[in-house]
Structures are given as C-alpha cells and as structure tokens.
Amino acid sequence: MVSKEEEKKIRNFLYTAQGTFGWKTKSDNIMLDFFRDGRLHIEGPDGEMTLWSGKWSVSGDQVTMVRPDLKKTLKVTAKIEGKNIRLGDKLYTRILYY
C-alpha cells in the first residue's frame, strides 16, 4: 500500500516539466509524454510521423495507460529511481531540450 503522498509524488514526477518533452526507454523505440489533464502522447520511432493519443492515471503506485499504439490498456507499477522512473519492467529517462 502506497500513501497518498507517494501517489502524488509519482504523478508529479511523470508530468511533462518545463524544458523537457517526455520520457524515453532503451527497451523500445517510443517516447511517452504525460500531461496534467490525463492525456498521454506516444511517439513512435520516426518522431511525429507516428503519434498516438492515449490516456493515463495513477492510483497508489499503479500507472494505468490507455495505449492505442499497442491496442490495449496497461497497468504497471511505478518506481522513481533517481532522475528516472521505472514503469513495470522498463526504465524511462526524461528527455531534455538540447
């Protein structure tokens, strides 16, 4: 069981922050962008040529993502690891503007 404080910390950590544009992982060639209003943008390997709009939410340490690119809804455990976040078995790094 995760406290409401920890849930809020995970939610705030996932939000797109100023000077960044989402999260990437080395596990696959996609980027995720979590917006405060619950929108989830999924960008494919060729940038904005493949872009899907999904939804996301947090309950405890569980992140639910409606992923139209995969044609399913994923529910994964989120764990903040320093400046990164682990969603299920994938480690994501925040993408910074250059």
CA distance 26 to 9: 24
Structure confidence by residue, pLDDT tens digits, 18-73 = 777 889 998 888 999 999 999 999 998 876 677 899 999 999 999 999 999 999 99
For the chain, the structural domain boundaries read 4-93
Is pLDDT larger for residue 47 or for residue 1?
A: 1
| Residue owning tokens 């947090």 | 58
Question: Which helix (DSSP H) or strand (DSSP E) does residue 13 occupy?
Answer: helix 4-14
Predicted local distance difference test score (pLDDT) of residue 10? 97
- The pTM of the full predicted model, rounded to 2 decimals, is 0.90
Q: Does domain 4-93 have CATH number 2.40.128?
A: yes
